[in-house]
Amino acid sequence: MEIDNEVRGRAVDVVIDSFGGMTRLAKALGHTHVTTVQGWRNRGAIPLKHHARVLDVARSLGIRLKRGDLLDEIPVVDIADEDAARAQCYMLLARLLAAPPSNELLEIVRGLSGDESELGQALNALAAAAHRTSVDAARIEYGELFIGIARGELLPYGSYYLAGFLHEKPLAALRGDLSRLGIAAKDDVPEPEDHIAALCEVMAGLITGAFGEPAELDEQRRFFETHIAPWAPRFFQDLQAAKAADFYKPVGTVGRLFMEIESEAFTMSK
List pLDDT tens digits, range 171-189.
Answer: 999 999 998 888 865 454 4
In which residue ranges of the chain is pLDDT below 50? 1-8, 74-77, 186, 188-190
81-90's contacts with Cβ under 8 Å and 24+ in sequence apart are 83/207, 83/208, 83/214, 84/208, 85/1, 86/207, 86/262, 87/203, 87/204, 87/207, 87/208, 88/1, 88/3, 88/204, 89/1, 89/254, 89/258, 90/200, 90/201, 90/203, 90/204, 90/207
- Specify if 22 maps to a domain: no
C-beta neighbour count of 245 within 10 angstroms: 20
- Specify if 56 maps to a domain: no
- Specify if 188 maps to a domain: yes
- Specify if 107 maps to a domain: yes
- Specify if 233 maps to a domain: yes
Q: pTM for the whole thing?
A: 0.72
Q: Where does residue 267 rank: exposed (0-12), middle (13-18), buried (19+ CB within 10 A)?
A: exposed
CATH of the domain at 233: 1.10.3480.10
The answer to whether residues 91 and 71 touch, using CB atoms and an 8 Å cutoff, is: yes
Alpha-carbon distance values, 131 to 138, 175, 236 (Å): 11, 38, 22
Q: With pLDDT > 70 as the criterion, what percentage of the chain qualifies?
A: 87
Count of structural domains within the chain: 1
Domain that holds residue 248: 80-268
